[in-house]
Structure 1
Amino acid sequence: MAKTSRSLLIALGCVAATTAAFMTSSPAQTAKAGADGKKKIVFVAGRPSHAPGEHEHRAGSMLLAEDLNESGLPVEAVVVTDGWPKDESVFDGAAAVIFYADGGGGHPAIQHLPKLREIADSGAGIGCIHYAVEITKGEPGNAFLDLIGGYFESDWSVNPHWDASFKPAKHEISRGIDDFKIRDEWYYHMRFRGKMEGVTPILTDLPGPETLSRPDGPHSGNPAVRAAVLERKEPQHVMWAFEREAAGGKGRAFGFTGGHFHKNWQHDDHRGIVLNAIAWIAQVEVPENGVPSKTPTDEEMRENLDEK
């Protein structure tokens, strides 16, 4: 697929606008066939949200999907927009499902947790980007602990904008990624599984005290996070990998709390580590130098933006 055709990924085979879903042609048929040996990756992009250039779920998903399709890896990425698909057959045979959407009580998966567990139990990887790592406490939160190893829990986790500096952990997801620094809305103090069972931190940094300058609130601060960061100086994990029991062996997942600013997908390491993570959870070997992709041009970054 040529670089000039990012928008084609949305246009091909799109169903009626009333379904609020756009995808490549015949997604279910492609997933079931698998004759070409490619693993199917399904992006679930959320509805329009926030100001222009922020939470660009559709445009970001389209960009990452095309990079994967052009990478030369044995994958086929498709994108569904406006949240959970009305036709769930798009998930048939998926090797990985990626959520890039608003979370909390409006998370696309919150009304479909049994189906999400079914997908994960089949061995498919589950990935959550930015707000999609947040879901409500109780059954939804417990499901995320089981499926992706952690989540943003209100009155425990926080969502400040800050400049984080990373030295990526040694892991297949970090192949080809250099140390980097970037400003984003990096959520931290995530709720993880007990004793970090199955969880491997990938990106970690110690936030500065300015990240806790807001009054306490469901997303802004609480005594637990202040004690962890300001008193005990505990580094915080903002990206992690997770392995869990699934059909035929270990299922995989990741959480990535960055992705607030659309412009950050032009940063090669920020974009690259997410592409690597997607390949990894789809059980595709990450190349030694990482999943290849070209830095998007300014024109390409403007494609598929939501009207806001």
Structure 2
Amino acid sequence: MRSSLSLLVLFPLLLASSARADLTEEQRRLPLEADAPNPNLAKIVLLAGSTSNKAGQHEYFAGCALLHDWLSKTQGVWPVLVADGWPKNEAVFKNAKAVVVYADGGAKLPFLAPERWNVIKNLVAQGTGLVMLHQAVDVPEDRAAEVQQWLGGAWQKDIGCRGHWDMEFNAFPAHPSLNGVSAFAAPLDGWLYNLHFSPDIIPLLSGSVPEKSRSTPDAREHAGRAETVAWAYKRKDGGRSFAFTGCDLHRNWSVEGQRRFVLNGILWSAGTTVPADGALVPMAAGAIGTNLDAKPPAHPQTQAAPAIQ
């Protein structure tokens, strides 16, 4: 009897382990899909996309591991870290206050399968917060209208532009996601802009972009315009959404302004109180180099990290 019970307990763990063969030994040591022990905690599910792009870019697992660490330091919050873009145990979504999608977009968006799409759709309908980072805002054309209703914006190739360049942010609106955020720069990051936006989004971060990046006729009609790369959105269902199209380069999590801004936005989307001075986002020396995907070495430009701020 004891042997049978042991197998019942171990089987889900063995199944999850075998399905995540691409995770490094370091990544496997993190608590994956560890559900909240107390229903009174604000559960935030972090969907880290599968291995993508070059070393130092699209480090979805390492980025979500950092978010998990910082959220763990927030009183009353329980983050759940999920690998490969989708949980093996969908029960972790139950009573979630927010879902964060940090993954490839377009045809690689991790919840395009009908059964997964319906899970996200139902969560949104229940008022669950939705956060989409970097390429996750890029969605297939036939899903764009619905995602725009959920998120307040969706990137489409008909008008959207993307690329890498420096951006600086030093003028902020009054919004909880910007509590305690000082002016910051995100050097050489990857950006998506000129999305299809709902009229009532709240632009949070906007700035100048290289005019040569205006690759669509619609974008060229707005030469010189400051472009929105992050926004908040209060949905008609009462839920909240937050998006930031940066954080392509993993090294930019070393920038305090960026990590506090994103943490604040996640907390706001979950309906929790954002501290007046912003979320706690301590960064230990060397933390930026932990839990990276196994990839060939990066180009020096994307590998070198700015000094921790």
Shorter-chain TM band: 0.7 to 0.9
Tell whether the 8 Å contact from 1:162 to 1:211 is kept in structure 2 after alignment: no
TM-score when scaled to structure 2? Answer: 0.83
> 2:197 matched to which residue of 1?
192
> 2:88 matched to which residue of 1?
86
Is 1:260–2:248 an aligned residue pair? yes
Alignment match of 1:129 (pick from 121, 129, 133): 133
> 1:16 matched to which residue of 2?
16
Any residues of structure 2 matched to 1:200-239 within 5 Å, and which? 200-212=202-214, 221-228=215-222, 230=223, 233-239=224-230
d(CA) in 2 for partners of 1:26, 1:295: 23
Could you list the structure 1 runs, at least 4 aligned residues long, displaced by more than 4 angstroms after superposition. Answer: none
Cα deviation per residue 1:30-71 (whole Å; 9 max; x = unaligned)?
37x41xx21000000000011101000000000011111013
Q: Give the % identical residues.
A: 31
Q: Give me the CA root mean square deviation.
A: 1.9
1:87 CA drift (Å) = 2.1
Alignment match of 1:243 (pick from 223, 234, 245): 234
| SS of structure 1 residue aligned to 2:235 | strand
Say which is worse superposed, 37-46 or 17-26, in terms of deviation.
17-26
| SS of structure 2 residue aligned to 1:177 | coil
Tell whether the 8 Å contact from 1:160 to 1:185 is kept in structure 2 after alignment: yes
> 1:49 matched to which residue of 2?
52
The residue type equivalent to 2:219 in the other structure is V
Say which is worse superposed, 15-24 or 236-245, in terms of deviation.
15-24
Is 1:293–2:284 an aligned residue pair? no
> 1:276 matched to which residue of 2?
264
> 2:7 matched to which residue of 1?
none
Alignment match of 1:178 (pick from 171, 179, 182): 182
1:210 CA drift (Å) = 3.8
> 1:105 matched to which residue of 2?
107
Tell whether the 8 Å contact from 1:266 to 1:296 is kept in structure 2 after alignment: no
1:15 CA drift (Å) = 5.4
Cα deviation per residue 1:231-288 (whole Å; 9 max; x = unaligned)?
xx32211000011133xxx200111001100000010001110000000011111101
The residue type equivalent to 1:251 in the other structure is G
Instruction: Please identify the structure whose Cα radius of gyration is greater.
Output: 2
Note the residue ranges of structure 1 that are not aligned, 5 or more in a row.
1-12, 213-220
The residue type equivalent to 1:303 in the other structure is T
> 2:4 matched to which residue of 1?
none
d(CA) in 2 for partners of 1:62, 1:287: 22
> 1:39 matched to which residue of 2?
42
Tell whether the 8 Å contact from 1:65 to 1:77 is kept in structure 2 after alignment: yes
Tell whether the 8 Å contact from 1:164 to 1:207 is kept in structure 2 after alignment: yes
